[in-house]
Amino acid sequence: MSTDPPITVDIKGEEVQELEREALGPDPTYADALAAVDLSPHEVSVLVDGRPVPEDQPLEATELTVLRLIKGG
């Protein structure tokens, strides 16, 4: 039985998704959470409490905001 709270992923402009932490494998990173919602670090930024977090860092937060990048040339 799961004891960890779900990970809430708010993808701006789309939907809010919930992930079970156990489904992300042992010692997941923010990049693992992105992969679970079919997104790549190359196309988005992850923010926690309004601040960007490196995607390769251990997943500690339970509420993530995901922004598709706005850039080009």
Partner 1 sequence: MTDSHTPQPVLVVPDSVRKALVEAARDAGPEECCGVLGGAFDPQRSRVTSWYPAANAADQPRERYLIDPTVQLEIFERLEDSGEDIVGFYHSHPRGPPVPSQTDVDAAAWPDRSYVIVVGPFEDERGSERPAVRSWRWRDGGETGHFERERLESPRGGPDDA
Q: Using CB atoms within 10 A of its CB, is residue 45 exposed (0-12), middle (13-18) or buried (19+)? A: middle
Instruction: Name the residue nearer to partner 1 (CB basis): 27 or 42.
Output: 42
Instruction: Name the residue nearer to partner 1 (CB basis): 8 or 21.
Output: 8
Closest separation between CB of residue 42 and partner 1, Å? 9
Closest separation between CB of residue 37 and partner 1, Å? 14
Contact (CB, 8 A) for 39 and 13: no
Distance of alpha carbon 71 from alpha carbon 73, whole angstroms: 7
List residues binding partner 1 (CB under 8 A).
12-13, 43-45, 47, 50-52, 65, 67-73
